Structure 1
Amino acid sequence: MEENIDPKEYGVTQQLFKEWRSPRFGNSNPQKIESPVWEWLVRSKLCGYLSTQKMDGPSPFDEGPTWSFDRFGQTKTQLPDGRTVYIGGEHEDHYDPDFYIYNDVIVEHPNGEFDFYCYPKTDFPPSDFHTATLIGSKIVLIGSLGYPQERVEASTQLYLLDLNDFKISPINSSGKSPGWIHRHEAILDTSQTSITVTKGFIEIGLDSPLRENIDDWKLDIENWTWQRLTERKWPRWELTRKDKARNHIYDIRQALWSNEVNWEEHHQQDMARLEESMGFSVDFNLVKALYDFDFTHESLVEDEEEHNVYWIYVDGVRVRFVEERYCLNVTVEGSLGNQTLTSMREQLISSLNELEISEWTINEY
């Protein structure tokens, strides 16, 4: 796929773009759609903003989100016959006027052609950050983040896509499931009779930050029964500002990074935004020493794949820190003495209070 593709090659006019610019649900399960606009957008990889600018389309503030194939949390499944199946995903984030979570299926053929399938919302809700596991002629869809008002905390979203007719059906499962999980991993066992689900994040309530899944789960695909494989009793803490406001750890680290790589203009912009938001000049030494405790531990390690994940080792036990917008999650992946745990909690609270000049609280779970 190429980015600079002339829409005229696909017969896309301004009027046609306006007709097909919006996402839509299907009227049947599935409804196969033919849209030159969508095909051009898939091939061009243009985001909603750029396609609107290129076609002089209406503002999403007035007409709603613009259809886009530029998505996060979309699954991509390669079939033995050479086709590729793309399912759902979201464009941008909730603050963007083009934000939208999709419930479509797009099939790319080896010859470069595309098929578009849409579904009624009641048959397949908008889905993102799910997993797609190919089993024969079917794809098992596990989990989703979805829109906040559509999440069901106690259950795990399960759907089955039949590749023979592209119908999507819900799966009724039993047993103890991980809950409303997303961003997880799903691995099909060698006998193709079960799927193991690990990692990811779980919705525990709209008033609470997402909680990391630290256990392993198995889904028996012969009778659709869940089994909990582990129940790790690791100490876990959730640190948040007492005023429930968004913290600035990410922004501070961005400003620190732009300074370290000598991006002077970016650094000045980062610092200006920080000072406007925080109301004072930040001390970079405080964030550098955030996980530098006064007891013996190995040096801090930054995850190479996850920009907001760090860890240290204490007496051979990994302690992992996940920096989120509204909280700092700490997981002690093993057993440590009470004195060490108490000291770590107290030092973290003290360091965060000083870093943001705001009181923090800790929730143990």
Structure 2
Amino acid sequence: MGGVTTTSSELYPVARLAEVREATIRAGLGALLLTPGPDLRYVTGYDALPLERLTCLAVPAAGEPFLMVPRLELPAAEHSQAARLGIEFVAWDETDDPYEEVARRLGAVGRVGLADRMWAMQSLRFRAVMPEAEQVLAGSALRELRMRKTPAERAALAEAGAAIDAVHTLVPSLLKAGRTEREAGRDIAEAIIDAGHTRVDFVIVGSGPNGASPHHELSDRVIQSGEPVVVDIGGTMPSGYCSDSTRVYCIGEPPAEFAAYYEVLRSAQEAACAHVRPGVTCESVDAAAREVIAEAGFGDRFIHRTGHGIGLETHEEPYIVSGNTEPMEPGFAFSVEPGIYLPGKHGARIEDILVCGETAGERMNNTTRALVVV
């Protein structure tokens, strides 16, 4: 596979910078300061290296935006999507203080939004040069934009979903009794790249009792005949958008206890996916899955939220969890991944990425949700 279904200009439109400036004003901020990470990439398309040298996009509520960039990173910036924006690139040299220069250019601002993933050392430097400015998260301005995926973003997520689906179709050939989780995980990671991702973000292979740990790391445990294996995998595509999908496999016939609660889990995941539509709350999607599991007597074995948003980050807003009363809107993208975990025995989780459409949810993952017997 490989390539992207949409062009970079569609994913990172020039008009987005004006939208972000308007959002900055609505949030009551004097400026946004975006360092390398998902916020900067969302606004500019520039996947800048996170370095101790400051790269920072400043978006003032009044005045023109500019990009502070170390001189040695200037060629990369000039060849990035940010070059289409028509903003000033301010190159700084090794003996300059880029923080002071940002502060000087912005002037007095009452509140400043810092990139949600900004390093502490950078936020503290900005506090030192702008001591009167209240620091808040840039998400206060950007969250409404980033949560509502555009058609181009939805297409990128669909491509990511198809790529990780292609990996799951290969997984049965990689899970064999006698192999270790690490050996299988190494081959799965290679398949993630071969399917078109530029980066492997995570590979979970939880065999037997390790399947009861939702974020189990690969280990040297040998996969045994007759036990379930939870495989949760994801990566980042050339577009910058992420994949994430979990399926469960069994090496031979599954234990009767496991087979029974796996069917409960399938029903719960289906109920949550069917519940998705504009207007329902995020917490009601969580409840739709949780009620099925609780009614079957496994309520205390479902130990995490039902899902998380996804886009330029594997985990972002909105979160599908009790207490989140935000109503679904077209363009929301998130996982639906209920799980049942029996410590010391085994566990299971089924995960798809969904995008809320105009009337219902659309799955980005389409491999079988049935237990796959290897």
State the TM-score bracket (shorter-chain normalisation): under 0.3
Q: Kindly indicate which of the two structures has a greater share of residues assigned to helix.
A: 2
TM-score, scaled to structure 1: 0.27
TM-score, scaled to structure 2: 0.27
Of structures 1 and 2, the one with the larger relative CO (CA 8 A, separation 6+) is 2
